[in-house]
Amino acid sequence: MLEFTHFPLPLNLALFTVAALAVLIAGARLSRYADAISSMTGFGHAAIGMLLLAGVTSLPEIGVTATASLAGNAPLAINNLFGSIAMQVALLAGVDFIIGCRALTAVVPEPTVMLQGILCVLLLAIAASGMVVGDVAVLGVGLWSWGCLFSYVGCVWILSREEGRKPWLAARRGKPDRALMRELEQYQEDGAHEPGLRPVLYKTFAAAAVILFAGFVVARSGEAIAQQTGLGASFVGFVLVAISTSLPEASTALAAARHGHFVMAMSDILGTNLINVGLVFLVDVLSPAGPPLAETDRFATFGALLAIVLTALFLAGLAERRDRSVLRFGYDSIAVLITYFGGLVLLYALR
């Protein structure tokens, strides 16, 4: 396999920049195609965001996780997964900024999104428990890793039964927000202008291929840049590699938000985070050493707890729906950003 660490730092920087631009462009188009598929098939934005967008944008992450695991670097793979979860929740603050005067958690009327967030917290708690308690192999795979896999499958089953549930009534200060409801209905009609389902599917596959290839280049060159700058392996996995593998999610979520598809944007992020916890099983299967959750240290455990807190902050915002913002950020988004960057400072000290 091509080793980006053999390239000089300037070349890796150039590769990272070009591939990142390709991911951003393809992700923006993928968001548009996903909206069209939602309109033409009748699948809701929550289902499309969780299954299509989350599945496609997770491809680079899967590649990096598998590569690190096969190379015997399970800590990098685990920290990349939890770092991506924390980073992607923080990305929702960027979605909030795009909305402007409205808080993101006040314009998401689908209760399925809150359920996704709750399930993310539960799966992260399972993984964190495995790190604290320790793990033992069952049929060659750690018992807690089996728990992550079966819990992820259970989450998909639960969420598949949620499609079609009646959304919350959009409201402002306790009264129905008719303007927002009309705006959301208009957004849902935008995908009807596409020529047909088959051409849209072809375009979707093309965008997914670009994200897969360019996302792989972004992740590998980002990992090489991190190593060439001399940062610790744990911090590299949690922050720099996680940032590079989160670019597809950032692109699709921000593009969805610009078109007013806030449910799709949040479902993309939360759906990807569910996949990330499920990928702990893949790390365990491919790792030549013992169960990876048994090899983690305080860094990885704190990283999982940070991801739980960040997700819980947005869940609190979804439950409260206060719709107050400062400098285009909702109160919950501000709390998420402060917590995330504060967590990075502590993680740097633990590296």
Where exactly are the structural domains of the chain?
4-350
Cα angle 73, 80, 274 (rounded to 5 degrees) comes to 125
The mean per-residue pLDDT over the stretch 217-226 comes to: 73
- Cα distances from 295 to residues 10, 99, 130, 142, 263, in angstroms, run 34, 42, 10, 11, 37
pLDDT grade, residue 191 (50/70/90)? very low
Task: Please determine, for residue 285, whether its predicted confidence score (pLDDT) is greater than 50.
Answer: yes
3-state secondary structure at position 138: strand
Pairwise pLDDT comparison (70 vs 235), residue with the higher score? 70
Minimal CA–CA distance to 183: which of 112, 114, 252, 99? 99
pLDDT digit string (tens) for 327-345?
777 788 888 889 988 988 8
pLDDT digit string (tens) for 261-270?
777 778 778 8
The CA distance from 56 to 290, in Å, is 30
In sequence order, what are the beta bridge partners of 176? 171
pLDDT grade, residue 350 (50/70/90)? confident
Query: How many Å is the Cα radius of gyration of the chain?
Result: 20
Query: DSSP per residue over 44-78, as a string?
Result: -HHHHIIIIIHHHHTHHHHHHHHHHHHTT-HHHHH
Q: Which CATH architecture has domain 4-350?
A: Up-down Bundle (1.20)
pTM of the entire structure? 0.75
Lowest mean pLDDT among 2-11, 123-132, 144-153, 158-167: 158-167
Q: Are 314 and 105 in contact (CB under 8 A)?
A: yes
The CA distance from 266 to 91, in Å, is 10
In sequence order, what are the beta bridge partners of 192? none
Helix (H) and strand (E) counts in the chain? 15, 6
pLDDT digit string (tens) for 37-86?
666 665 555 555 555 656 666 666 677 677 777 777 777 778 778 877 88
Pairwise pLDDT comparison (263 vs 182), residue with the higher score? 263
In sequence order, what are the beta bridge partners of 326? 329
Length reported for the chain: 351
pLDDT grade, residue 91 (50/70/90)? confident
Residue 187: per-residue pLDDT: 47
